[in-house]
Amino acid sequence: MTNRCAWLLYNPAAGRFPAGPLLERALRVLSSAGWDAHIVQGEPKKGVADVAKEAVAQRCDAVFVVGGDGSIGQAASALAGSETALGVLPAGTANVWAQELGLPRLDWIHVFALEQAAERLAAGDVRLVDVGVCNGQAFLLWAGVGLDAHVVNSMEPRERWEKAFATVHYATLALWNAIGWEGMDLKVRTDKDEFEGRYLVAVASNIPAYAGGLVDLAMGAKVDDGLLDFWFIESGKLRDVLVRVAQIFMGRHVDAEGVHHFRASEAVFEMENGLPIQFDGEPLVLDSPLEFSVQKKALKVLVPGDVNPDLFASQSKG
């Protein structure tokens, strides 16, 4: 039987701790499980997506991204539609995708997280998940405009020492930016409806977790149902803005006044040009309109055998 090919795609700039010294242990785990695995380090002139495309061209069975959600999102955009599966060895700052799969991130408490993730994924399953698209830019987790995009743009890029306080940093910046953030005028169109207003946040989510995994924004979201969960938080007076930010962090936003939600496979945002947007926690600026769509079950992902079944609409394996 031919061993399966795996690339461990390492982003040395990711995360709170340098993962390089621990990679050989994860490599040995995969090799013991029957994978022909080797480490490929990202380079400044060759991004994660470029290396992932090379893996597809080499007909590699899987790419294990050793990094965070930004790196995972970039790899997902390159692997979508291919036979190469995406795995994660969580060495980033927030690692929301890994959290959704039940994998601990690399930190002082979980120093063996990478090899543990490698062991669980090597013995796990391949599932098919959706990939969101906005103006040609693919995302695995979410894309959003408004307060969250402003926070991401104000945070990135960060020094490694800053990432050690990522949770406190994000929450503090969210509240600080909310004080001076008056919201954005947005018109939204779907195949069934059209509405407009002034919003604090507008986000399209493919998973339940949000804001670095601090909250479950899109409760009940499925990664393989062909739909995105769209959430809109109305702006208003300073007190209203602060209350709504607090509601999001406390998980009390679902039925709150000024919070709107729908699920759809397509939607269009019309807004002021040049507003920042975040894709899987990475900053970008795109011009209006923002056209959202879904590539249904376009991406193969490696998941642990005991992954939370509520994350999926279908229980069939890829």
The Cα 90–Cα 87 span in angstroms is 9
Q: Is residue 220 part of a domain?
A: yes
Predicted pLDDT of residue 14 = 60
Mean pLDDT of the chain: 82
The answer on 59 and 92 residing in a single domain is: yes
The answer on 114 and 14 residing in a single domain is: yes
Helical H segments across the chain, by residue range: 23-32, 48-57, 69-79, 96-101, 113-122, 147-155, 160-163, 166-180, 238-250
pLDDT band at 283 (very low <50, low <70, confident <90, very high): confident
Residue 262, H or E segment: strand 259-264
Q: Which two tokens stand for residue 150?
A: 């402003």
Predicted pLDDT of residue 200 = 83
Q: CATH no. for residue 196? A: 2.60.200.40
Predicted pLDDT of residue 245 = 64
The answer on 152 and 289 residing in a single domain is: yes
The answer on 153 and 264 residing in a single domain is: yes
What DSSP line would sit under 270-307, residue for residue? E--TT-EEEETTEEEE-PSPEEEEEEEEEEEEEE-TT-
Q: Is residue 317 part of a domain?
A: no
pLDDT tens-digit map of 81-125: 999 999 999 987 778 999 999 998 877 777 788 999 999 999 999
* Average pLDDT of the segment spanning 12-20: 64
The answer on 281 and 144 residing in a single domain is: yes
Q: How many domains does the chain have?
A: 2
Write down the pTM of the prediction: 0.86
pLDDT tens-digit map of 24-54: 899 999 999 999 999 887 665 568 899 999 9
* Average pLDDT of the segment spanning 201-221: 80
pLDDT tens-digit map of 231-250: 998 876 656 666 666 666 66
Give the structural domain span for 244: 137-295
* Average pLDDT of the segment spanning 195-202: 89
